Structure 1
Amino acid sequence: MRALLVVLVVAALACFSSAQHQALIDYLERRLLAIEDRISLWHEQTTRYASELRELKQQMVGQLETLDKEKETLRTHLDGVGTRVDRVERELDYLETQNGGTTPCVDVDDKLMEQQVSLVTEKNKVKYAKLSDCRDMISSIKAMKILKRLGGAKGSWTKDIESSRSSSGKVFVFNGTDGDAIYEFSSVQHFTSSPGTAQAKVQRLPSAWRGTGHVVYQHHAYYVKQEEATPPMVVRYDLKNSSVVDTVVFPLQDQVAVYSLNPETLVDLAVDEEGLWAIYATQNERHISLAKMDASTLDMEQTWDTACPRDNAEAAFVICGTLYVVYNTAQPGRSRVQCVFDVSGLVSTDEAPLVYFPKRYGSHASIKYNPGEQLLYAWDHDGYQILYKLLIKHKLEV
């Protein structure tokens, strides 16, 4: 009886254990099926997301290509608009200058003025003997004409000045701030219509020039030769015979630029009704100096220390023995004559009118005066060659 009871208990436990194992297996199978369903769902979602990302990428690439094309088209349009605006500004500047400027009047007692003129004249007869009776000075800039754009940002161009009252038709171009070539054109019209320098006659110099301070006077080119660690030299070159006539070491011990805004130019040569001049500076002086030179021998006849500062100066020129210094700013603005020095003492900066150049915001690399035409030949930092027509009045005119 006892044995039977044990057998029954063992059988019951076996059946209970078997049922429990079956239930556990069923539960695990259900969990695995649920996990498989979720994995399948995740896989489908991942595939869909990847497909959507590829489509979005393709759309973005297409839009970026379209934007690049539109950007290039817009840049082209802006360049065209900028060119047209620049042209319109120049035309407006020219039209503005047609009316000329007004000359300030100063009320001075006539007798007192005559006494002052007599004293100043007697004083300067000893210092400087004028070569002509020129009494002209600038009143304003009457007109501006932009001829063309040649070469780089810096250079100089001028006519051959035969005398104080005449000029030859030939135009000479010094392109850049150093080189050994002078480009010769038969006239201003030839220069304007020629593409670049292809149609110009080329004069090769035996030595290189430096800066933008060169002039052509009585069929001779006067240029500044400057080698490293040596004083500058002024060279007189015969353009007809293609030969050097004379050279002289310029007495400039300190190699300092005459204009702070154009550091390549150590000596700026100029021609007016009186002949050849040299504009320069020294290291110990912060002001510009002026020298009268003999065009035939290159001797320095007399020198003057002016009160015109070098800082913010961009160019200068001489008219009837009066030095006009043109100033600007480091960020180019509107050029203006802000300092005047007259070797005869008849004109001072306070008495001279403040001359503004036409409203083109930019600076000049060089400005050359032609006494035969009373024009300024200018080269601006955008590479344009410009003519300025001057409105002239007499010194001491009230």
Structure 2
Amino acid sequence: MRGLVVLVTLACFASAQHQALIDYLERRLLAIEDRISLWHEQTNRYATELRELKQQMVAQLENLDKEKEALRVNLDSVGTRMDRVEREMDYLETQNGAQPCVDVDDKLMEQQVTQVKEMNKAKYAKLSDCRDMISSIKAMKILKRVGGPKGMWTKDVSRGSGKVYIFNGTDEDTVYEFASVHDFTSSPGTSLAKTLKLPSAWKGMGHVIYNSHAYYVKEAGVLMVVKYDTKKGSVIDSAVFPIQDHVPVYGLTPETLVDLAVDEEGLWAIYATRQHERHISLAKMDAKTLDIEQMWDTTCPRENAEAAFVICGTLYVVYNTQQPGRSRVQCVFDVNDMVTSDDAPLVYFPKRYGAHSSLKYNPLEQLLYAWDDGYQILYKLVMKKKLEI
């Protein structure tokens, strides 16, 4: 009996030890599971932080690439501006240089100038492929009346762009941009327009919109041509217009000192100087650099001229009277000598309200955008080939 008690006692003791071992193992397993769970949590957190760090590094690298490209563009722009400053300094030095000690024979000087002009004409003729000229005005459409008596409106001369721009007045800095002609005509006033604030006021009505850039003239002691990016809202470039003793280009529109124009061959400048005061002059410009490529003195008088435009390298000057009457193209100058005023047809505009303060030709549509006493008008042109003359 005593042995049975001992056996029972030993069995109970062994069972207690076994249970204690099991409890110990369970506690250890729970601790290990807690450590594994903590390790997984820390691993996930570290992986998330690494992903976020990678994304931040990628974003910073992209920003660095963008800043590098912007810096490269700025450096190129600075280089271009430095070249322009050097050219303008050279121009100013030539205008204020010392007088020669030797008298130059006037006839010899005139002969040399004539030879240079003839060489310029021959050079330009090789670059000119456009041969269209005006035959007549087919139709006229009055779209709207917005703004004051004098201003300019035009459409962006750029394929794929239908934007319309309003420059109201002769000395302002706010341009109205419409997404299309339809938005312009259906808008009460300028309510549907986007407002562009130029960094400086324009002078006159000689502006153009070409390839999403506004080219306008400002007067700051000297005449400056400014190139403004309408998409970025910033000035891309500016240059001194190299004429001395300028005078208003049109006798009936004295506010316009330089009238910029666009045709099938690019950017032009119509201007006048005191040295050639009775007549209008013409210059071909590089739209990218604003450099003057060539210049011509025309035989078209300034007196009673109200506006002008260029088509295929041919300047058409529009005349009126002091008391506004019927506008007409009365003088033509072709840089290739293919058209003369005697050969060109006398084109009359339909009688409207007063006189044109601006006429802008769109070579993509063969339309004239006219501003007449606050009315915005479109003229549809009929063209013919110069070779048919």
Tell me if both proteins adopt one fold, taking TM over 0.5 as the criterion.
yes
Relative to structure 1, is the Cα distance of residues 361 and 384 closer, same or farther in structure 2, using a 3 angstrom cutoff? closer
Taking the aligned partners of 2:330 and 2:301, their CA distance within structure 1 comes to 10
Give the match for residue 370 of structure 2.
Answer: 378
Taking the aligned partners of 2:160 and 2:340, their CA distance within structure 1 comes to 29
The answer to whether 1:300 aligns with 2:299 is: no
Taking the aligned partners of 2:130 and 2:286, their CA distance within structure 1 comes to 18
Relative to structure 1, is the Cα distance of residues 312 and 167 closer, same or farther in structure 2, using a 3 angstrom cutoff? farther
Q: CA RMSD in A?
A: 1.5
Deviations along 1:225-275, one digit per CA (max 9) or x if unpaired, are 113xx1210000111111111100111221310001011000000000000
Give the match for residue 111 of structure 1.
Answer: none
- Aligned partner of residue 274 in structure 2, secondary structure: coil
Give the match for residue 181 of structure 1.
Answer: 174
Relative to structure 1, is the Cα distance of residues 207 and 224 closer, same or farther in structure 2, using a 3 angstrom cutoff? same
Which of 199, 209, 223 is matched with 2:192 structurally?
199
- Aligned partner of residue 161 in structure 1, secondary structure: coil
Work out the number of aligned pairs and report it: 271
Deviation above 6 Å: which 4+ runs of structure 1? Answer: 122-125
The answer to whether 1:220 aligns with 2:213 is: yes
The structure that has the greater radius of gyration is: 1
Report the alpha carbon displacement of residue 124 of structure 1 after superposing the two structures with TM: 7.1
Name whichever of 356-365 and 291-300 sits farther off.
Answer: 356-365
Which of 118, 137, 146 is matched with 1:150 structurally?
146
Q: Residues 378-397 of structure 1: matches in 2 within 5 Å?
A: 378-380=370-372, 382-397=373-388
Taking the aligned partners of 2:316 and 2:214, their CA distance within structure 1 comes to 23
Deviations along 1:329-349, one digit per CA (max 9) or x if unpaired, are 000010000000000110000
Which of 354, 359, 374 is matched with 2:351 structurally?
359
Report the alpha carbon displacement of residue 182 of structure 1 after superposing the two structures with TM: 1.0
* Matched-pair contact (CA < 8 Å) for 1:335–1:361: no
* Uncovered stretches (5+) of structure 2, i.e. residues with no partner: 1-117
Report the alpha carbon displacement of residue 198 of structure 1 after superposing the two structures with TM: 2.0
* Matched-pair contact (CA < 8 Å) for 1:167–1:373: no
Give the match for residue 161 of structure 2.
Answer: 168
Give the match for residue 258 of structure 1.
Answer: 249
* Matched-pair contact (CA < 8 Å) for 1:167–1:372: no
Give the match for residue 22 of structure 2.
Answer: none
* Uncovered stretches (5+) of structure 1, i.e. residues with no partner: 1-121
Report the alpha carbon displacement of residue 359 of structure 1 after superposing the two structures with TM: 2.6
Give the match for residue 273 of structure 1.
Answer: 264
Taking the aligned partners of 1:191 and 1:360, their CA distance within structure 2 comes to 21
Taking the aligned partners of 1:288 and 1:255, their CA distance within structure 2 comes to 11
Q: Residues 35-50 of structure 1: matches in 2 within 5 Å?
A: none
* Matched-pair contact (CA < 8 Å) for 2:360–2:368: yes
Give the match for residue 85 of structure 2.
Answer: none
Give the match for residue 329 of structure 1.
Answer: 321
Deviations along 1:4-57, one digit per CA (max 9) or x if unpaired, are xxxxxxxxxxxxxxxxxxxxxxxxxxxxxxxxxxxxxxxxxxxxxxxxxxxxxx
Taking the aligned partners of 2:368 and 2:248, their CA distance within structure 1 comes to 22
- Aligned partner of residue 202 in structure 2, secondary structure: strand
Give the TM-score, by structure 1 length.
0.66
Q: Residues 313-324 of structure 1: matches in 2 within 5 Å?
A: 313-324=305-316
Report the alpha carbon displacement of residue 123 of structure 1 after superposing the two structures with TM: 7.5
The sequence identity of aligned pairs, in percent, is 75
Specify the code of the residue in structure 1 equivalent to 2:378: L
Give the match for residue 105 of structure 1.
Answer: none
Name whichever of 353-362 and 365-374 sits farther off.
Answer: 353-362
Name whichever of 258-267 and 123-132 sits farther off.
Answer: 123-132
* Matched-pair contact (CA < 8 Å) for 2:120–2:294: no
